Structure 1
Amino acid sequence: MTDASLRPSRRALLQAAALTPAAAAVGAAVPASAAATPEEQARTAASFDAVDPRFTLAVVPDTQYLFDAVSIDPEPLTATFRYLVRERRERNVAFVAHLGDVVEHGGADEIEPAARVFRSLGALPHSVIAGNHDINGSTDDQRGDTPYLRAFGPSYQRRMKTYRSSSPGGYNTAHVFSGGGREWLQLALDWRMSDLGLSWAQGVLDAHPKLPAIVTIHEFAAPDGDGGAAPSGYGQTIWDRLIRRNDQIFLVLSGHFWPSGTTVLTNDAGHDVHAHILNYQDRYYGGAGMVRTYAFDLVRGAIDVETFSPWLIEQRADRRSQLGAEHVEMSGPADRFSLEIDFDERFAGFAPVPVPAPRPARAVMPTGTVAYWRFDGEGIGTPGPDGTTVGSGTVARDLTGNGNDLAVVPIQNSPAEVLKFSTEHHPVQPAHASLRFDGGQPARGATLRTGDRAPINSLKFERGYTIETFLKLPEPFVGNHGFMGVFSWEGRAADAGKTGGYSPDECTCSLNVSGERFLQYVVYPVRTDDDPTAWSHAIPTGRWTHVAIVNDGRRSSMYVDGSLIVRNPDLPSTGIATLGRPFVLGATSSGLRYGQGFYGWLGDTRIVGRALRPEEFLAPARRR
């Protein structure tokens, strides 16, 4: 592998390597000055962002061949730990876990050099477990005193702020670390668990019932030779006695066997448990201090996995051996991959995300609010149960008191079933209710229209405005619904004296959904003959979306889920060329006729006569 083939995410590592004295050849010593100083370690501890929804768990598998009697070379593991300390801010490293078989024979002559390397992690919290080579492999966690226990037992572990407890005998430990604005339980389990150890582990889980848990254990899964894996005989015991019955455990990481492999198991709650083998001791230079990073992204709902050797990357490309160049990064499907996990859904059984209580209308009508409609008991006096048909003439009151009430009007001869009450809603929507529209082509659907004398029909909004709504498209998204309307003002552009737009028959203002599910906001301003049009990305199906159109009196911009989109036109856009005709929710007319209605859910809709900041939206934008 050449330097040019490294992934862009490796950028920070390569930059650091350029500033670090490089090893002249495989196995060459790196000067002691290259190790992190106490001051650097202190800065590293302060650099971690526990709130950032992106953070990293670093995992180091079997390093035993680096600490093998008289064949000891600590530098590959030292380089890995040096990298994790120095790049803690760049990768937002929350925790480091070693999977056991730290050394080959378990004697003090091997354990002590290894322990010195671990101490270089300083303030970076970490756990260590015993593999069968670190202790007498025929014993369980009640084996008593060993050089391993003296070096890595409770007296060592409790130095970490993340440490919570150890099992009787001291060979199992529990840590709680922060990441993504929440806490995570990490159980570091021994090579062989006794009944006492298993009882302790269950007690830890019981004491932290709302924390998602990650188990690291030396042996759990065995490879199938084709990139897959399954619990080994001992792994099956741990699965049956501990993991499958505790829904908190969603990730199990083990070493011991090679090659690497992955599998997904189903626990007693019917949920996925991801189990991975990672072990590179059979590869060049005893694995060359390989580290696997699990980069959690709570926004995307994903964990991105990479495996690489900081020690080999630090070396100059023209001085690496051939085998070193081949092992800079592991790129097989069991070494570099992504997991898609809806964390909220996966953890709902033991730590459900609290749903904010409904907010009363008076709490979400800032100065300048022109109209606000919602479809719960405040907005519609007696909404029916979920799925109840909303009949023609039903009124949704304008809760500002400005007189812009909406009334249901079917499109042509559409049946009443095209509009129903729904209890579905965006998680932060003020009202916990919506309307389900079953519109389509030709001429099927329902609209909610203001009365002929409603003040909003003629408002020009020349000083600016903000229009917000919540919408959800069905999953699956079936049928032809291209350019269905979300909201609009009735009226022909030609009647407003606008001739420079797409069509003289189109509305003077509308929000629509294209066939590709792009949001389209088109408006004819008061003072110009243009039709500035904003386009979003393709919005998802099966998920609520918040949309805000913000005009500051000069230009209009669309925000989707609090984020500014790219395709906002840089054209003058002052006001809306309204014509005294109704504001409409659920459709867009052409030539004053409705060819189709909206298909999906619409929730709270609010119009304010000024430009709002994103943090003032009905779904306040969060900074990432």
Structure 2
Amino acid sequence: MKWCALLLMVMLSFSTYSQSSFEFVVIPDTQTYVEEFPDIYMKQMKWVASQGKRFSFVLHVGDITQNNSDEEWQIARKGLALLDGKVPYHLALGNHDMGSRPGKFADTRNSSLANRYFSYNNYAKNNNIIASFPANQIDNSCAEYVLIKLSWLVCSLEFGPRDKTIAWVKSVIKNHPQHRVIFNTHSYLYEDNTLQDGDDWYLPQGYGVGKEEGDEQVNHGGQLWNKLVKSTPHSIMVFSGHILGTGVGQLVNQNDNEKNVYQMLANYQKNVKGVERGDSGYLRIIKVDKAANTISVKTFSPWLNKYKTDPEHEFSFTEVDL
């Protein structure tokens, strides 16, 4: 009887723990992996798929491909297909994932190859998608989850989200007023731990898509914060990539509801400082722990089977109010 009572206590303890926390993966820009090191990219995807039900979902911050070519999208699809039916994934298309032809980076907002290799019906079915913009395309999407007894929206937004894209995602959030919101987009935070603004490199306004006007006007990180993230009452986290240099950054600001929003940049590909050949294969593991009021971040490479433990790669946010 004592053993039964002990077993019951352990089971109850595990149940309480599992209901108070969840983990998900953030995959930084894979463009040079898909172009030059496909074995590393496949190792990332195989590792995520092998983790069973450990992860609630996966975010890809964009620049899935380098040259927006058929060959690279075939590799991208082959890797992410390993996750189908195992763990949902959400894609934020980057500047290298759109354009009039391969090698033309975001000269136009042409995402036809991305939508060919990730058909909307299959993408929505496997990934809890409840809304998309434009309709029936993967360019922008929101997914719904119930985790740690709270409702969540995970919204993945295009490179340089347009004013009309912001209007669309605001309407989705308005229809889900009690949902906590995680934003996933390609270009947002800069390597100096500040929101992108007019003084920074790599702004969406510097590409062909950035020349449009009216509701097609694009937004950099600071504009996206002011027009969308700041005014979202339950905004919790924002993830992005795109920036080279150190490839990492973090920022905590309060939204209009006086809640902290945890914003993170991660990029570990070729040409990032400290990455010799672009073959590191690092990704981020995020743990949200409601009981401990923390959001913790670890950086792990399935290819190297190694963690990065420097403070800019492994850290925690405390006193998190969900």
Corresponding residue number in structure 2 for 1:335: 313
2:250 to 251, 262, 266: 262
Partner residue in 2 for 1:585: none
Matched, 1:119 2:106: no
Task: Specify the alignment match of 1:222 in structure 2.
Answer: 190
CA distance, structure 2, for counterparts of residue 121 and residue 293 of structure 1: 16
- 1:175 counterpart residue number: 143
Code of the aligned partner of 1:231? Q
- 1:55 is aligned, of 22, 31, 34, to 22
Counterpart-to-counterpart distance in 2, 1:99 and 1:288 = 17
The question of whether the paired residues in 2 share the 8 Å contact of 1:223 and 1:230 is answered with no
One-letter amino acid matched to 2:180: P
Question: Which of 189, 196, 209 is the equivalent residue of 2:164?
Answer: 196
How far, CA to CA, are the matches of 1:284 and 1:177 in structure 2?
A: 38
Once the two structures are TM-superposed, the CA of residue 51 in structure 1 deviates from its matched residue by 5.8
Secondary structure at 1:88 match in 2: coil
CA gap of 1:237–1:230, structure 2 versus 1, over 3 A, is closer
Partner-residue secondary structure (3-state), 2:97? coil
Q: Give ranges in structure 1 of 5+ residues lacking alignment.
A: 1-48, 314-327, 348-624
Q: For 1:270, give the aligned amino acid.
A: E
Q: Against the structure 1 CA distance between its residues 311 and 293, is the aligned structure 2 distance closer, same or farther, given a 3 Å change threshold?
A: same
Question: Partner amino acid for 1:146?
Answer: S
- 2:94 alignment counterpart: 131
- CA separation in 2, counterparts of 1:145 and 1:190? 10
2:266 matches 1:301 = no
**C-alpha separation between the residues in 2 aligned to 1:266 and 1:303?**
16
Q: Identity of counterpart residues, as a percentage?
A: 25
SS for the counterpart of 2:165 is: helix
Change (3 A) 1:193 1:50: farther
Which structure 2 segments of 5+ residues have no match?
1-15, 100-104, 199-219
CA distance 1:77–1:138, change in 2 (3 Å): closer
Letter in 2 for 1:76: I
C-alpha distance in 2 between matches for 1:74 and 1:50:
37
Task: Report deviation, 1:104.
Answer: 0.6
SS of residue matched to 1:158: helix
Q: In 2, distance between residues paired with 1:62 and 1:264?
A: 22
Q: CA deviation at 1:285?
A: 4.2
From the superposition, tell whether residues 111 and 330 of structure 1 become closer, same or farther in structure 2 (CA, over 3 Å): same
Change in 2 beyond 3 A, CA 1:193/1:213 = same
| Separation in 2, partners of 1:297, 1:76 | 30
Distance 1:134 1:292 in 2: 21
Q: 1:129 & 1:342 partners in 2: Cα distance?
A: 25
For the Cα contact (< 8 Å) 1:212–1:249, is it kept in 2?
Answer: yes
The answer (yes or no) to whether the contact 1:52–1:180 under 8 Å persists in 2 is: yes
Q: TM-score, normalised by structure 1?
A: 0.42
Indicate which of 154, 158, 166 corresponds to 2:132: 166
Change (3 A) 1:113 1:337: same
Residue 107 in structure 1 maps to residue 50 in structure 2: no
Cα deviation code 1:28-49 (max 9, x no counterpart)? xxxxxxxxxxxxxxxxxxxxx9
Cα contact 2:190–2:196 (8 A) shared by 1 = yes
**2:308 and 2:75 mapped to 1: Cα distance?**
27
Q: Does 1:243 align with 2:243?
A: no
The 1:262/1:132 distance shift into structure 2, 3 A limit, reads same
Which amino acid letter does the alignment assign opposite residue 306 of structure 1? K
Structure 2 vs 1, CA of residues 183 and 269 (structure 1 numbering), >3 Å: closer, same or farther? Answer: closer
* 1:500-545, Cα deviation, whole Å (9 max, x unpaired): xxxxxxxxxxxxxxxxxxxxxxxxxxxxxxxxxxxxxxxxxxxxxx
Distance 1:138 1:102, change over 3 A: closer
Asked whether 1:148 is paired with 2:140, we answer no
The answer on whether the counterparts of 1:177 and 1:185 sit within 8 Å (CA) in structure 2 is yes
Distance in 2 between residues matched to 1:208 and 1:192, nearest whole Å: 24
Q: Which whole-Å CA distance do the structure 1 matches of 2:250 and 2:52 have between them? A: 27
Q: Are the aligned partners of 1:265 and 1:272 in contact in 2 as well (CA < 8 Å)?
A: yes
Match of 1:263, as an amino acid?
A: L
Q: Which amino acid aligns with 1:99?
A: V
SS in structure 2 at match of 1:120 = helix
**SS class of match (1:133):** helix
CA distance in 2, matches of 1:153, 1:341: 40
> Offset at 1:230?
3.0
SS in 1 for 2:42: helix
Aligned 1:445-594 pairs, distance under 5 A: none
Q: Output aligned runs, 1:314-463, within 5 Å.
A: 328-343=306-321, 347=322
Contact 1:50 1:180 in 2 (8 A): no
CA deviation after TM superposition for structure 1 residue 342, in Å: 3.6
Larger Rg: 1
Over the residues paired in the alignment, what is the CA RMSD in angstroms?
2.2
CA 1:307 to 1:332, structure 2 compared with 1: closer, same or farther past 3 Å? same
Tell me which amino acid in the other structure corresponds to 1:150.
R
- More helix as a share of residues: 2
Aligned length: 273
Deviation per CA, 1:179-228, whole angstroms, max 9, x where unpaired? 2232211000000222321111111111111110000100001111xxx3
2-structure distance, mates of 1:51, 1:331: 25
| Contact 1:52–1:179 (CA under 8 A) maintained in structure 2 | yes
Q: Which amino acid aligns with 2:307?
A: E
Shift of the alpha carbon at 1:178? 3.0
Structure 1 residues 60 and 287, CA gap change in structure 2 (3 angstroms): farther
CA contact (8 A) 2:234 2:259 kept: no
Name the CA shift for 1:102/1:159 in 2 (closer, same or farther; >3 Å): same
- 1:252 match: 238
CA distance in 2, matches of 1:265, 1:135: 31
Residue type at the aligned position of 2:93: A
